[in-house]
Structure 1
Amino acid sequence: MTFEEFGLQARLLENLAENGITTPTPIQEKAIPLAMEGHDVMGLAQTGTGKTAAFGLPILHAMMKDGRRVESKVVRTLILAPTRELAKQIFENLQNFCAGTHLKMALVTGGAGIVGQMRKLEKGVSVLVATPGRLLDLIDRNALRLDATEFLVLDEADQMLDLGFIHQLRRIATLLPHGRQTMLFSATMPKQMEEIAASYLNKPQRVQVNPPGQTADKIEQSIHYVGKAAKFDLLVELLDQHRDDRALVFGRTKWGMEKLARSLEAKGFGVAAIHGNKSQGQRDRAIADFKAGKTRVLVATDVAARGIDIPDVRYVYNYELPNVPDQYVHRIGRTARAGNDGKAVAFCAPDEMGDLRDIQKTIKSEIPVASGRPWEKSEEKAAEPQQRNKRGGGGGQRRGGQKAGGAPKQGGKPQHRGGAGKPAQRRAGGNPNAASKGGAASPRRRKAN
């Protein structure tokens, strides 16, 4: 099938061709015709499969076709995304799709001045891409109206649940007209999603490319069973084997990943870090440098797991396993994008065995072992007294004076599974998105977006 066969507006087809998009992906083949017929759509597909075009093209086509202008403060199309990075990615893609048309677009997220965003909304917009927290801030200031919204998209809705946006989503739902068309897209399908679907969707058509939680076929996964004190040396050893390739390194905590980035920089790697403590400008520059190849290693918390769309990221490292298993799927989904191959490498310390079991249950397969062997129950138990609560800050001093995320003592070697190292380290904690310790509706959580 081709995009021409969908009957899209000629200008959209020209813009797609100019951007090198010529053949619809499976999710686009299934979702676009249903959306163009006016159905509500629930789309389940892995990251990197072209979901933005799947929901964006039908909406842009409909608004280009009717040619209507927007009224003051009206938002004709609202697209909600969980993170600043993902919202910006969606906004840029849609800008490319509708270049040269009458459609007006705006992006509103935390980390940017709210007054300037209010000015952009004064005359109304055809498409607004927003994070939930900043959207509600603007609504509270009477900067926009949702009572005339015709199209609504929830992208990466499961991540919005993970980040505690359920209360914001419930409130937003009450502000929208019942006659709108809604599309919900997600890579996983947690139980709470049923409530979201019931609140937002009307007799939705379900389209699915892969079972929820299934990882992409082109991702080569592997795991190293390694003591926490040896993780840094092992990471350096592996990164050293492909210094010319882009690599993403994921961990749990903001301070831990910042410290890891400095330690890698001291080893001669070009490194940048993004996490909730970085300003929006810092995060944008870090991703831009990574995309341009100025830095080859990007260290990140899960705040970035849904917002990095760089086709040639070859390696993803799970330096610390996520304690929300679905996050593993989204982390490794940053590689093997746009038809490319990729490798996902995970490290597992004794106190992470429970997280690993949850991950393998979610993806319905065992991750191939690259080194070591699974930790035994006695070793897991020995590590338990050293852990902090999962919602704590994590980290602390390691035995021998090594700090979390830093290099081991001089002369230390990677302690692969086999008894060389003692598993008496603390567990890195923190919320999986590492943006805040606040509750689901806390101001700090909303500000982090």
Structure 2
Amino acid sequence: MIKGFYIDNFKSLVDFRLPPTPHQLGSFTCLVGLNGAGKSTVLQAFDFVGHLANGQVASWLKQREWKASDLTSRFLKLKKLIQFELEVEVPGEGRIVWSGAFNTTEMRCTAETVTVDGVEQALHIKDGQLLVAGTDSKPSVQYPVRSMKYEGSTLSFINVRDVHPALGVLKHVAANLRSLDLLSPQSMRRRAKEGADIGYGGERLGAFIHGLPAKDKAALTKALKKFYPQVSELSTTALRAGWKDLRIVEQYDSVQTAPSRLESDARQVNDGLLRVLAILSQVSMSKTTDHSKRIGDLGQSCVLFDEIENGINPELMQKLVRLLLDAERQVIVTTHSPLVLNYLPDDIAREAVLLLYRNSAGHTKVVRLFDLPSTQKKLALLGPGEVFVDTHLEALPAEAMALVKVQAS
């Protein structure tokens, strides 16, 4: 599980740490704040670090129609390095901290360190050499990274099976980070040929479901029925040239002797159902099995959703929030909806709801929403969502900055 995240010089994120110290991220986190506060940017920063581990930064930029120069903060115009730190805690492996500096000119990390439990260095770049700790049966390895051609992190090219086991765990967690901030029904209606994942916007949803084992497809159908009881089957077909077609089968009672069966192409299915299906496909599936058993048992990594309430009927929100709280995967969402907060138990809301705001310098910062004196007082009388409705968000940045100042003194 990801316990902490730090990034500096990424868009509006300057010296940004999530969550605010001394707290740690839990299995569910909800980000709130005004438009432009930086909520989507935080999800993009997680996604960026995940693609460093994959070595796929250029394709990630192309997908988002960005340039490398778009990544760095406008507040630090001459600074080309993006500093980051990802803290992961895994039972049996301890606490793994991956830190580094990504050079936007060279498109790779020119400094990296991985430490285990704050003592052991599993990976380190020094004097142009990448030093990687080995296992009991394999010696340590050195790579002359200064002369090597690679993209993103050095994790992208090392053979994790032959080196320190913590590196395999870290790469699995980081490379499986998924930010679905571009999720849209228009994309989910498209046909695709391959679907190792559902894609940034859900454009490979049909192909992804087509490739699921029968038991996983059945489990996904069962989960969808909790939201839409009329759904009886998720039907996928391989078409000519490898395209995959997704169809939703619904069963209704009929005035005739036999029940009526309605089969609809994904292009004809309502937006809300498609969005719920995409969310379910990411948070309610069985654990991954494409790695070694030791790594596979860790399950999948963190998944991030922007404006989780979009396109979903309010009557379904309680079920959705419960699904997110019970998910096998760690979940981070952003929301503008008080309904999302109102279905959170008070104790979870106190820890999990984080307010993003811009400080006086324009940098995105974060505090726990219910650490603020005004919201803390209201929470004693109202539900989390009611506090959210009863609060003027425009007034909170000043209160947050005052709280941070007091905490720092």
TM-score by length of 2: 0.28
Using the size of structure 1 for normalisation, the TM-score is 0.27
